[in-house]
Structure 1
Amino acid sequence: MSALDLPFDTDAMLAGLRPWVECESPTWDAAAVSRMMDLAARDLAEAGAAVETVPGTKGFGTSIRATFPHPIQGQPGILVSGHMDTVHPVGTLDKLPFRVADGKAWGPGIMDMKGGNYVFLEAMRQIARSGMTTPLPVTFLFTPDEEVGTPATRGLIEDAARGQRAVLVPEPALPDGGAVIGRYAIARFDLVTQGRPSHAGWALKDGRSAIAAMARRILQIEAMTTEDCTFSVGVIHAGQWVNCVASECRAEVLSMAKTQEDLDRGVAAMRDLQGVEGGVEFIVTRGVTRPVWEPQPGTMALLDLAQDLAGRIGFDLTSDRAGGGSDGNFTGAMGVPTLDSIGVRGRGLHTLDEHIDTASLVERARLAAGLLTRIA
């Protein structure tokens, strides 16, 4: 039997995926993410893997590393790298419950990226049940902090990827179903304006509003966006009393750059904004960064194999570089052959319409099984 002929079943996969989707796991809720990891660890163990729980750091949840038995365990093999955190706060299920209708399935995190992670686990489960052995050892690493730039587990991912023959990242497929073979750099910045407090009614003119100053800076920052380097302010925190002139405002910026040169210019432009203006100090601190990942020969060889498998399954697998970051940025930038966004098809990730095309569960499970049994 070929791996492409394994008995994958959509209804069975939906039944297995549902508990994952209903175990809400927003990044900043370490306990919730760790509960999700426990659930995935149970399923990985039932599929035959030896599972190790890696304690969380920096306030984030745990990670899990699962190794499947293999005659050459310990030698270079395949790393399946995925994250279990989502952007949806606990309680999102009330507005976005798990449901299936008209060839789609909805739920928080089902597309990004619990669906893809589950697909690869199911592929390994079916490979083991069939009596097949993958040519190379297979390790799964699920981490808790990708949605905020992977500040705690980048080193864990890089250590797991170092020396491997291939890294497979089941992030959701591109809109046309394609895979990602390179990604732009992603940089984050923390902004602070520090003004002077005063009573907003009795002594307004004595104050220097950190909020007003930040508002002006936001317009200035977002106006720096070009086709090659974008800037977007996504978080703002300030103020406690409406009758007080705010003395501090904090914000966060996400920047995307197509090349390292674009990134360096963007970082310099952000730093040049620092200083004091109108009695308000503006402070810029660079946060976590995802490096530029350029397509390399090893990645292109993985793509060739995946495209051959896709053709045999019955679909065309396109490829492209992508602006959105993932943990594939790290492994790809290391030079480890990395194939990203080979998870499920869907729409609406990070929204209350997040859903997958249910037919893509079997499609992508066959692709996963083909890759796991053909990469050598």
Structure 2
Amino acid sequence: MTTEGSDSGRPASGRPRATLADVAAAVGISRTTASNAYNRPDQLSKELRQRIMAAAAELGYSGPDPMARSLRTRQADAVGLIFSERLGYAFRDPAAVEFLHGVGEACTERGRSLLIIPAVPGAVHADTVLRAAVDGFVVFSIAGDDPHLAAVLSRPQPVVVVDAPRDLAGVDFVGIDDRVAFGRVAAHVLGLGHRRIGVVAVRRGEDVPARGSARPLLERLDAGADPHPVRHQRLLGLLDAVEAAGVDAAGVLVSERPGNAREEGALGAAALLDAGPGLTAIMCTSDILAFGALDELASRAVEVPARVTVTGFDDVPAASSAGLTTVRQPMERKGHAAVEALLDAAGSVVLATSLVVRTSSGPVGS
């Protein structure tokens, strides 16, 4: 006796499931021709395809089994995205939203689905990567020693890395030159006469004091191997600009926070202001952190830019209304280019950035 929902090969009604062969017989065509109605509709006339689909609807045939098709063609028609944050962050952070929009548009244009796999620091789900039915992976800004990256590289599918890590053998890269970009905004700040500078940066997946602390730039850069190349490259860009200006790097402090959130930017700015009397500029490695820094300065009645200059990075939509001086990077284009590189084997792409000067930056004592 068969119970409802059992694996009997029959639907709950007791009728055998219709097959593609049944549809073909009903229309009086070959099975191959019936298959073309689903897989190669351009091979059929509109009228014939309508007859086939009508017969399928009458028989209750819903179409080829996608799992069986995938096994037969060895294609999943899906792109895997390894996202180095919780999934909720992907739909909340403005820069991440722009990036995902570019990825999504490119997938839609190519008739591909998108599977997002979160690679949250400290929560290893490498098995999810190994089981993913995808034709290739886009890896978004991940630590070089992350086990999810190792799982991706162990598979035979093509891989494109966005932002970090860079220079992986046999893996295409899509991103920007973070060192040059951050160096450009640092040169702008130094050119305004600022010498007592603080930086708020993200230090994901690492222990950070709740209230925050600050330490010299050179001490941070000398702390050993940094698993997060984007942060490291931006700090190196700042050092390049400081040295080019003939400024003593000892006056530059870095406060690191565990996440890219507005409240973290406020905590980082507070740590810098408490540790560095006379600070005249706060540079942030994202616009979101910069918004938090502006909040903290406002809470202390510190005028911007008259007493402290603030800069960000990304140029998210809200940066303009906030008057934030920042670095514009093409996040949407970055996502689109990553899928193009993956599906077309288009090779590595380094996208241009630009400095956007607004009212949050000004000369010392302005």
Tell me if both proteins adopt one fold, taking TM over 0.5 as the criterion. no
Task: Give the structure with the larger strand fraction.
Answer: 1
TM-score range, shorter chain: under 0.3
| TM-score (normalised: structure 2) | 0.26
Larger Rg belongs to: 2
Higher relative contact order (CA 8 A, sep 6+): 1
| TM-score (normalised: structure 1) | 0.26
